[in-house]
Amino acid sequence: MSDTPRTVRPGVYEHYKGAKYFVLGLSRNTETGEVCVVYRPLYETDWPQLVHREARMFFEEVVVDGRRVPRFRCLE
């Protein structure tokens, strides 16, 4: 768990595919200890307004067109 972020800056983030989200903060699963980033989409959806993703995955880099880019990048 040492590589799991302990803080996240709230604000608008952009997914590498272009969608924007508002990050609220971090949560921890009380059963597993897993740390997640809690955020909401800034576009119309028909699914729950608050979603989460494992923090390790939220902050990782992905390869797009041969380049490594952050999965989400802070815009604020």
Model confidence pLDDT, tens digit, residues 9-59: 999 999 999 999 999 999 999 999 999 999 999 998 888 799 999 999 999
pLDDT in tens, 42-52: 998 888 799 99
Residue in the block written with tokens 């597993």? 32
DSSP string spanning 17-58?
Answer: TS-EEEEEEEEE-TTT--EEEEEEESS--SS-S-EEEEHHHH
The pLDDT of residue 46: 87
Does residue 2 carry a pLDDT above 60? Answer: no
